[in-house]
Amino acid sequence: MSTTLIRGGRIIDPSQNIDRVGNLFLRNDRIEGIDTGAAVADHVIDASGLIVCPGLIDIHVSLREPGDEKDETTASGTAAALAGGMTSVACMPDTSPVIDTRAAVEFIQLQCARAGHCNVFPLGAVTKNHDGKELAEIGQLVEGGAVGFTDAKQPIANAEIMRRALEYTRMFGRPIFNHPQVPELAAKGIMHEGYYSTLLGLRGIPSGAEVIMVARDIALAEMTGGLVHLMTVTTAGAIEHIRRAKEKGIRITSEVTPHHLALTDADLRNYDTNFKVDPPLRTKEHVAALIEGLRDGTIDVIASDHQPFAEEKKQDELDIAPAGVVGLETLLPICVKTLIEPGHLTWSKLIAKLTINPANILGIQKGTLKSGADADITIIDPTTSWRIDPTKFRSKGRNTPFAGWEVKGRAHTVIVAGKVRHRV
């Protein structure tokens, strides 16, 4: 029997519409309640001046293991997650081999248990080997523990495959995460198609590549009644489609990344590969649409799209280097910089997009401070100032566009299943 008292913090729990100063009491690996329990405990954490909220959840993380351990491992990736304030992550199946069998899902769970950091919820492949031709063994993947399905950065381009996948996964109540991009329109593209792609002489990816796929996925979600989650939306047109779909009651959710809020295509002027991402950075007009989508609830979740790569891979020329940035350890401060400081979101609304909303999409019993819930807690210092230094990342990846940025806010203490797993 072990008890913990988190004392005097600003408790924010969007799942219960709570935002007040109080005490949170934990017993073993469960939450006993807010302002309940004994005045003394085995362990006391002084949270004065800090925010106490449900453990943060990142639903878009690539851990690279098995196959690309030079880029990241389950141990290093989950350590990075803890440092960023995450108590749970959903990992992409874009490993080698692809997570398209029950054994592969169980391997991920085994490696997570060995690492002993945060919770890892595996996403299974929609199609075998991500080739877009034949459905993976969905039922076996569910039995193995897959909470959803995706072909990661490979868009499910074939509409009939997507339709059958939605009909199948609907029976299990699992979502399909799709990378909303028409492959033929995005082929060999390096950045957003527009003024700067012309100026820099780089092949562009038009916003229409995303808008068309989003419209198709919404139509298929309406047709099948399946659950579609649109990963990393970046365009104003996509946001408008999603907004209208939600008004009609179509089962559609979406996410945006911090780097698509903080940066634009103009940042590629120096040909720095750390600004090459997929989907690409867009214009300030698209960024404004994303922020409005977060404000009005059109966009449900903020996720890191954590894509770690070994340093030598990102040192290639811009047209050769892989697209993607590491994001677990910078998600929270970049959200503070782009959303909290300008007044676009309150802390309660931001935390909802990092806790209960992603938990609901994944169908997991997380993201809340209700009595009896798992004792996964993130304690945030909202005012501390620090400088982003990639050499201090827990992740093996150093490919961040935010190196040297002066930011505010970071995870102070992270508790998983009642145990402190990270503390500044």
Which tokens in the block code for residue 292?
Answer: 């409005």
Helices (H) and strands (E) in the chain, counts: 14, 18
What is the C-alpha separation between 100 and 314, in angstroms, rounded?
28
**Residue 161 to residues 135, 136, 209: CA-CA distances in angstroms?**
7, 11, 19
* Angle of helix 208-224 versus helix 236-247 axis, rounded to 10: 20
**Residues 140, 60, 116: CA angle, nearest 5 degrees:** 75
Radius of gyration of the chain (CA): 20
DSSP secondary structure letters along 40-57: --SEEEE-TTSEEEEPEE
Give the SS3 label for residue 377. Answer: strand
What is the C-alpha separation between 8 and 23, in angstroms, rounded?
5
**To 10 degrees, the CA torsion angle through 28, 29, 34, 35?**
10
Instruction: Identify the helix (H) or strand (E) that includes residue 314.
Output: helix 311-314
Give the SS3 label for residue 264. Answer: coil
Question: Which residues partner with 24 through β-bridges?
Answer: 6, 34
- Considering Cα of 349, then 353, then 355, then 357, what sign does the dihedral take? positive
What is the C-alpha separation between 94 and 262, in angstroms, rounded?
26
What is the C-alpha separation between 153 and 98, in angstroms, rounded?
12
Catalytic residue selected from 265, 305, 374, 381: 305
Does the annotation count 305 as an active-site position? yes
328 closest CA partner among 68, 77, 65: 77
What is the C-alpha separation between 92 and 124, in angstroms, rounded?
8
What is the C-alpha separation between 367 and 199, in angstroms, rounded?
45
Residues designated catalytic? 305
